[in-house]
Chains A and B, each alone.
Chain A
Amino acid sequence: MFGYNEKMDPRLKAVIVACALIFFAALACHMTGGTAYIRNIIDAPPKGPVRVIESPDGWRLTVGGRPYFVKGVCYQLVEIGKDKEYDFFADKARPWLTDGALMKKMGVNTVRFYRAGRDAGQTRAVIRDMYEKFGIKTAMGNYLGFWDWPFANYADPALRERIKIEIAEMVKAYKDEPGILFWILGNENNYSFDLGFRAWSTPDTENLPPLEARKERARIYYSFINDLAKMVKEMDPNHPVVMGNGELASIDVAKQYAPDVDILGGIIYQGKTFGTYFERLKRNYGKPNCFIEFGSDRYDSVWQQEAEDWQAFFLKLQWLEIVKNRAGGTGAGNSLGGFVFEWQDEWWKHNPDSESSWRIHDTGASWSNTAYYFDVKAGDNMSEEWWGVVGLDPKNSSGGLEKRVPKKAYYVLKELWTGKK
């Protein structure tokens, strides 16, 4: 036993000091969110040229030479009470800082912007914040006039010229941002000839038999995409070009007329499985795929209640299939990752023309998809305002932002993307 007046053994002193140092270091790490500092060094945001590389075991995306698998979310933020005209890039409350921190915890490495904000400087600032503060890269998109009125006619030289200028401006404005991953041209624009949605034609196609007319419209559209892809790559050889496309109906036409596209940005809502999508893509287009949308809604239209478990179930199965088809996997080897649709709920979508409903979380469903079978007996079962992996809580706002409420899908993806429970 040592008395207070006894001189302490120097060896004991060293042990106590060492223990104390370890204790305070551990305490500091815990209080700052674990080994954040060390993690920041190891997981520095990837930078350098982005390449699409084909090797014997499949396709890979690389950033600065390091493999990069897209763990993405579609980020088209619309706060409660706003609609699609809301430009979140200009929001003084800077919502992307709140969302970016949550995304980082979830393991998100890329966000998809459907379009840039109205002001290039504000958009650049958001791209930079996401990259520098959270290590999250940006996939920058453009609708190519698909939602214009009158409907976009891709045979119209004036429209093509206008879109070319718009894309050139986009590339010029953001290509030097280290946060940029790739460019996404279009969304589901091919449905204008594959499904007749926002359809267009030309005097020539009017005189063709229906099937040839459809193929001709596909040729016109995909050739235009190829022109854009070539222009983008001349301006910016460091970021690949992704062609947004709904399913694969006319993809064989794209194979012939859009060879300069690097990646197919697929969109498909088929429930538990993508079926033979990856194999068909391999056979009919030969380019790798990064889903620019996939997911499930989160509302049970039969029981009229939130369905977090079902959304998480579908997303988990979908993600496991995306991984299975990556290079070196047991599938087609042409999967580069994907963007979950979507980050947060959008409260304006069910009644877009009724401003008063933008503050109501409508539970109505506007279309039917039997692949999401848990509520298919309701008929229309897809509830447009319930797609987020994060919900918004209007009763709990601070700093001009509604509280973000992560749903089960958030935690399931977090576990898949970070390995942490």
Chain B
Amino acid sequence: MSYRNVFSASAGLIAALVFFSISGCGERKSELNLPPQESKQLQAAEGVPAPDSDSGKETVAKAASKGGEFKKFFVYADRGYFKNHYIPSGWMGDYGDVKINDAWAEKPYSRKTAIKIVYTAQKKQGAGWAGIYWQDPANNWGNLKGGYDLTGAKKLTLWARGEKGGEVITEFKVGGINGEHSDSASASIGPVTLGTDWKEYTIDLKDEDLSLIIGGFSFIIGSMENPDGATFYLDDIAFE
């Protein structure tokens, strides 16, 4: 036996053993079988850029801007107003306890109409709470492409008042819908207690990523805080 043969045999054995130790003999069990969109999201989260030719970036309608400044972007200004965006389609919780009239003409905050919401607190679906999302497109729970790129907006403002005063709104909210096409932000205020006079409420959006907002606005109201129900009004809901 030569030196060379001894070395070769020993080195070969050791190399084979080391390779076997490192590689193991099984398949990679953490490999996931997911739809393309989810695979891209995982890659992005891990810091692996998606190929340029297929970035997975959705085309999102960009909110209007003028001279580089964000221009007021209405969710609701008046009934049928051409600048309204989003649809009050996302009914949640005890949806049977809620009625909405978006053409209420008595004492609007501005222009001709306001939104009137009547919540009966009857717990018809057994939830003890209810709410409505203004969505784009209608009924988009994150399963549809849509929404707006509202980058540049600093806040959402709205005006609200109660019928009797003392109505408690658990939450006014922007974004927060999670799904295949999730909102890029979620911000809220609440609980707030309404008075009988119109008052402006503001949701701060300065630190939020507003590149995709499908849930433009929502409110939540609960039976615990409003055991006898509540009637309240909303007007001039807008990103600014």
Task: Please list the residues of chain A having a beta carbon within 8 angstroms of any beta carbon in chain B.
Answer: 1-2, 12, 15-16, 19-20, 22-23, 26-27, 29-30, 34, 195-196, 199, 209-211, 214, 270-273, 275-276, 279, 309-310, 312-313, 316-317, 320-321, 370-371, 373, 376, 406, 408, 411-412, 414-415, 421
Contacts and interface: CB of A to CB of B under 8 A. Distances in A.
Nearest to B11: A19
B20 A30 contact: yes
Contacts of A1: 1-2
B108 interface: no
Nearest to A320: B45
B6 A12 contact: yes
A275 B176 contact: yes
A357 B224 CA distance: 35
Contact of B208 (A276, A412, A414): A276
Contact of B41 (A317, A370, A412, A415): A317
Contacts of B14: 19, 22-23, 26
Contacts of B166: 209
A64 to B, nearest CB: 32
Contacts of A20: 10
B193 A317 contact: no
B178 interface: yes
B92 to A, nearest CB: 9
28 contacts: A12-B6, A19-B6, A19-B7, A23-B10, A26-B14, A30-B21, A196-B222, A210-B225, A211-B168, A214-B191, A214-B225, A270-B178, A271-B179, A273-B178, A275-B176, A275-B178, A276-B186, A276-B187, A312-B30, A312-B32, A313-B32, A313-B34, A321-B45, A370-B142, A373-B178, A408-B30, A408-B32, A411-B29
A373 B143 contact: yes
B3 A273 contact: no
B138 to A, nearest CB: 15
A2 B1 contact: yes
A270 B166 CA distance: 31
A210 B226 contact: yes
A22 B179 CA distance: 54
A214 B3 CA distance: 85
Contacts of B176: 275
Contacts of B182: 271-273
B187 A376 contact: no
A276 B1 CA distance: 71
Given A313-B34, A373-B178, A408-B30, A279 B21 contact: no
A272 B42 contact: no
A30 B38 CA distance: 37
Interface in B1-48: 1-3, 6-7, 10-11, 13-14, 17-18, 20-21, 28-30, 32-34, 38, 41-42, 45-46
Nearest to A2: B1
Closest 7 CB pairs of A and B: A210-B225, A19-B10, A371-B178, A411-B30, A275-B186, A411-B29, A373-B179
Interface in B39-72: 41-42, 45-46
Contacts of A414: 30
Interface in B178-228: 178-180, 182, 185-187, 191, 193, 207-208, 222-227
A211 B30 CA distance: 48
Given A1-B2, A273-B182, A27 B17 contact: yes
